[in-house]
Amino acid sequence: MCNITVDRNLPKEPDLDFYGALGLFSADGEGHARQRRQLAPAFSERALREQEPLITRYVDRAMSRFSENAEARKPIDLSGWFNYITFDIIGDLMFGHDVFECVEKSRFHPLASELLTRFEILTYAIAIQSIAPWLFSILKSLTPRRIAEKQRAQATSIKAMVNKRLQTPTNRPDFTTLILRSTPKNEPSLLETGEVYPTSAQILLAGSETVATALSGCVSLLLQNPPVMRKLTHEIRTAFSSESEINSSTLPRQKYLLAVLTEAMRLYPPNPNFLRRCTPADGCVILNRFVPGGTAVGVTAFAAYRDSARFRDAGDFVPERWLGGGERYAGDELDGVQHFGVGPLSCIGVNLANLELRMILARLLWRFDVELVPGGGDWFDQKAFVIWFRRPLLVRLVPRDMKTAE
């Protein structure tokens, strides 16, 4: 859930039309704060310790699938596989069982795939609503019936999954258990208001897509920078005598691993969108230019994090800048890089995201050497529609013992 900030200019109609309530990422003010309070215990460090066996189980399955492909010498699309893992984890945490079976069946669940494809349409909706709200209303009324029915079917599927979990008594440490256990008695719960439905859909995407994107970008950068790949692989393989030692207690000690992930997300922020702000009613001056009041303004992390005035060798992949970096990188404005946001709109799933990022990457490199399959072109040549529309990342995985034998 890296860099999941809330864009208050996202159209709210889909939530209201299909769920009858606003989800966490759509609600404003007290509505957002109340939902966040009720969700917070499900994303706490304590909750994560309880949830870790569930998370590990899906990573175990994925590594087994990777080994099968490696033994058969078949290339795999790591970008897609990262989505399989993260969708399965967040789906189980949200709905109480392996609802998508992406890893088990080595494919996207139709619902997960359809949810991702909606972002391109959403981008145009945001642009039209920002520039000409009157036109947005007209175009909405002209939306083909089949598209509206498809969106309604998706919402119906989400509702059915949530209802099935609510009707299943269990003490397993998933989100629903923890929300039910911790909701204050003096305020309406997500269940009573119906907010649980759009919030579940939003967390499903936020808790999967950005983590998969961060991992994909990180591996691609590692493949383009062999010295960094060798250094990270050496750190992981010397720090752990067995793969089972890689867990939430041991991973935070791996400083270079964290530096690599942080630097990868600086160069390739998982969220290409930006958090908009409105200028004050009287207007304000930005970059020596007066901007009228009520104007939506913002900057993408992609641009800010590659600013050569703030980062030395801004376009280079240099994890060492996060480990002191010596005199060369002493002037880097590292505090300006906030992958998970800050303040009341910061990413609620930061603990879960950090564990998934470190565990999946560490276990991948502990078990395999990763080789890029030629002919894929520039992997970073991508379109962005709220999310990155990633290209396949075709690699060959070579078991480390096989590499040694060769």
Please indicate whether residue 181 or residue 361 has the higher confidence score (pLDDT): 361
Mean pLDDT, rounded, for 151-155: 81
Q: How confident is the model at residue 297 (pLDDT cuts 50, 70, 90)?
A: confident
Q: Please report the DSSP string for 199-258 in residue order.
A: HHHHHHHHTTHHHHHHHHHHHHHHHH-HHHHHHHHHHHHHH-SSGGG-STTTGGG-HHHH
Residue holding tokens 């699938």?
Answer: 65
Q: What is the pLDDT of residues 162-198, one digit of tens each?
A: 999 999 988 888 998 888 887 777 888 887 888 899 8
Residue 135 reports pLDDT greater than 60:
yes
- The reply to whether 243 falls in a domain is no
**Is 302 part of any domain?**
no
For residue 52, the domain's CATH number is 1.10.630.10
**Residue where the block lists tokens 């990180």:** 218
Burial of 354 (0-12, 13-18, 19+ CB in 10 A): buried
pLDDT mean over 298-321: 94
**Distance, C-alpha 76 to centroid of its chain:** 21
Coil vs helix vs strand at 291: strand
Residue 393 structure tokens? 């990342």
Q: Is 241 part of any domain?
A: no
The arithmetic mean of pLDDT across residues 226-245, rounded, is: 96
Domain count, the chain: 1
The answer to whether position 212 is within a domain reads yes
∠ CA 362-368-370, nearest 5°, is: 95
Euclidean distance between the first and the last CA atom of the chain, given in angstroms as a whole number: 39
pLDDT at 3: 41
**What backbone phi and psi angles, to 5 degrees, belong to 158?**
-60, -45
Look at residue 377 in the predicted model and tell me its pLDDT: 77
Q: List, in order, residues 6 or more apart from 384 with CB less than 8 Å away.
A: 272, 273
123 occurs within a structural domain: yes
Q: List, for residues 382-399, the tens digit of each pLDDT value.
A: 988 888 889 999 999 999
333 in a domain, yes or no?
Answer: no
DSSP code string of 362-404: HHHHHHEEEEEPTT---TT--EEESEEEPPP-EEEEEEHHHHH
Half-sphere exposure of 93 (CA within 13 A, CB side): 32
Mean pLDDT is highest, among 24-33, 138-147, 176-185, 244-253, for 244-253
pLDDT at 406 over 50: no
What does pLDDT average to over the chain? Answer: 87
- Residues 197 and 70: their CA atoms lie apart, in Å, by 40
pLDDT band at 1 (very low <50, low <70, confident <90, very high): low
Note whether residue 199 is domain-resident: yes
Is residue 378, in this structure, part of any structural domain at all? Answer: yes
The predicted pLDDT at position 151 comes to: 75
User: Mind giving me the DSSP string for 243-273?
Assistant: GGG-STTTGGG-HHHHHHHHHHHHHS-S--S
Nearby residues of 391 by Cβ (< 8 Å), 6 or more positions away: 79, 376, 377, 379, 381, 382
Query: What pLDDT, on the 0 to 100 scale, is given for residue 121?
Result: 67
Comparing 8 with 25, which gets the higher pLDDT? Answer: 25
Containing domain of residue 102, as a range?
13-225+347-405
Q: What's the pLDDT score for residue 48?
A: 94
Binned at pLDDT 50, 70 and 90, residue 402 comes out as low
**72 closest CA partner among 374, 391, 360, 402:** 402
Report which of 113, 203, 122 is spatially closest to residue 162, judged by C-alpha positions. 203
Q: What is the pLDDT of residue 98?
A: 94
pLDDT of residue 359: 98
For 320-336, write each residue's pLDDT tens digit.
Answer: 999 998 899 999 999 99
pLDDT digits (tens, 9 = 90+) for 78-116: 999 999 999 999 999 999 999 999 999 999 888 877 777
Ranges 19-33, 110-124, 251-265, 379-393: which has the least confidence: 110-124
